[in-house]
Amino acid sequence: MSTYSDWLHLEPSAQEIQHNKLRIAVESIYTANKGIYGYRRIAKTMRDLFKLVISARFVWQLMNETVLKYRMHK
Give per-residue pLDDT as tens, 19-72.
Answer: 999 999 999 999 998 888 889 999 999 999 989 999 999 999 999 888 877 766
58 part of a folded domain: yes
| Inside any domain, residue 25 | yes
Whether pLDDT at 12 is above 70: yes
Rounded to an integer, the average pLDDT of 11-26 is 93
Given a contact cutoff of 8 angstroms between Cβ atoms, the answer to whether 26 and 63 are in contact is yes
Question: H or E element: which one contains 16?
Answer: helix 14-32
Residue partners of 57: CB distance under 8 A and separation at least 6: none
pTM score over 0.85? no
Is the residue at 55 inside a domain?
A: yes
- Domain enclosing residue 27, as ranges: 13-65
pLDDT band at 1 (very low <50, low <70, confident <90, very high): low
Domain count, the chain: 1
Does residue 72 sit within a domain?
Answer: no
